[in-house]
Amino acid sequence: MRKGQNPAKFVKDVAKPERITVALLNYIPFLSGFYAETLNVLKVCMDSMRKDAGLPFDLMVFDNGSCAEARDFLIQEKEEGRIQYLILSEKNMGKGGAWNVMLAGAPGEIIAYTDSDVLFSPKWLSRSVEILESFPNVGMVTARPFRTPPEFYEATLKWARDAERAKLEEGQFIPWETFLEFNLSLGQTEEENKKVYAETRDWRLVYKGVTAMAGASHWQFTAYKSTLQQFLPFDMDKPMGQVRQLDKRVNDAGLLRLMVPDPLAMNMSNTLGYLRGELKTQGAKRKGGFGRRILEIGLVRKTLMALYNRIFGWYYS
């Protein structure tokens, strides 16, 4: 039998969520090897997104089965009011499984998704939302220009060619330094990117006085929640490698995939090497030394990486 009245009945109003939810996906299974610096990377990511984002937001974090140290940090952030919504998954559901929860459950009208290794610059959110609200039928906006596969923004170019008030230009609009900076963060070398940069182009769109670049990406994007929900659920049988499902679905739906014209987000990957200025010397390091050359031999590299993946699977699958 109930005793007394539930005090919640006398509460006259409840807190309303912000219009924008920043949804961050995190996975740190342990703090050694590849993941040795990733907790610090996560901290830098969260600090940078809060510094002058340009618009207010609530932060939702989905932790995909991380180690105790990462979970403890996130719980402390939640208790101190720096995370508004925290979901701790017992197991790694993969990015697709996490997206199904995050993109459906985020309370904001607008969702700004990010991986946990992104470094943000001031106004990253307001500039993204400006493009989202200025262009029609926008599927997603990424806060950095880089060259993405053309087959994923065919609908964007078609709209720009047909729209009376849109201006479309082709050219080398992304500076070489900006192009190289991002690709070095993916483990590529300067030499292999020179040819790619020379042989590819950018597409710049101007609509209602707002400039954007054609393209976007699944690692960071801003979109209307109502738009994203039409692409759910994602059925991915691997934790990584199938995330371009979102890129393809948005393009196939005839929606625009756009990027801000200047770099307001940067991939840090699994270390703070970018902040330490190590990125520029990466190409030279990969070329130097007899040991490095041995490791880069195709058969040796394939065998060692297969062994690494097998050991990782034994412990964490």
Token digits for 152? 């994923």
pLDDT at residue 284 in the model: 47
Looking at the chain, the domain(s) classified CATH 3.90.550.10 span 20-267
Which of 251, 20, 55 minimizes the C-alpha distance to 137? Answer: 251
pLDDT score, position 307: 73
The whole-number pLDDT of residue 308 equals 66
Tens digits of per-residue pLDDT, 168-219? 999 999 999 999 999 998 888 898 899 999 999 999 999 999 999 999 999 9
Distance of CA 156 to the CA centre of its chain: 20
Share of the chain above pLDDT 70, in %: 86
Q: With a cut of 70, say whether residue 316 has pLDDT above it.
A: no
Tell how far CA 27 is from the center of its chain.
13
Give the angle subtended at the CA of 262 by the CAs of 175 and 133, to the nearest 5°.
145
- State pLDDT tens for residues 249-308: 999 999 999 999 999 999 999 999 889 888 765 544 445 556 656 666 667 666 766 676
What pLDDT, in 10s, does the model give residues 46-89?
999 999 999 999 999 999 999 999 999 999 999 999 999 999 99
Closest CA to 214 of 157, 268, 172, 159: 157
Least confident of 123-127, 267-271, 287-291, 311-315: 287-291
Query: What average pLDDT does the chain have?
Result: 90
> What pLDDT score does 241 carry?
55
**pTM summary value:** 0.87
Map residue 55 onto helix, strand or coil: coil
CATH 3.90.550.10: does it fit domain 20-267? yes
The beta-carbon contacts of 237-243 under 8 Å, at least 24 apart in sequence, are 238/94, 239/27, 239/92, 239/94, 239/95, 240/94, 240/95, 242/95, 242/96, 243/95, 243/96, 243/218, 243/219
Cβ-count burial 40-54 (b if 16+ within 10 Å, e if not): ebbebbbebbeeebe
Question: Parallel, antiparallel, or unpaired: how do β-strands 110-115 and 166-171 relate?
Answer: unpaired
Query: Which has more confidence, 84 or 7?
Result: 84
* Token couple for 181: 């900076």
% of the chain at pLDDT higher than 90: 74
One-letter amino acid of 16: K
Residues pairing with 210 in the sheet: 207
Question: With the C-alpha atoms ordered 129, 232, 217, 18, is the resulting torsion angle positive or negative?
Answer: positive
| Nearest partner of 35 among 116, 119, 113, judged by Cα | 116
Rounded distance between C-alpha atoms, residue 99 and residue 60, angstroms: 12
Tell me the C-alpha distance between 311 and 306, whole Å. Answer: 9
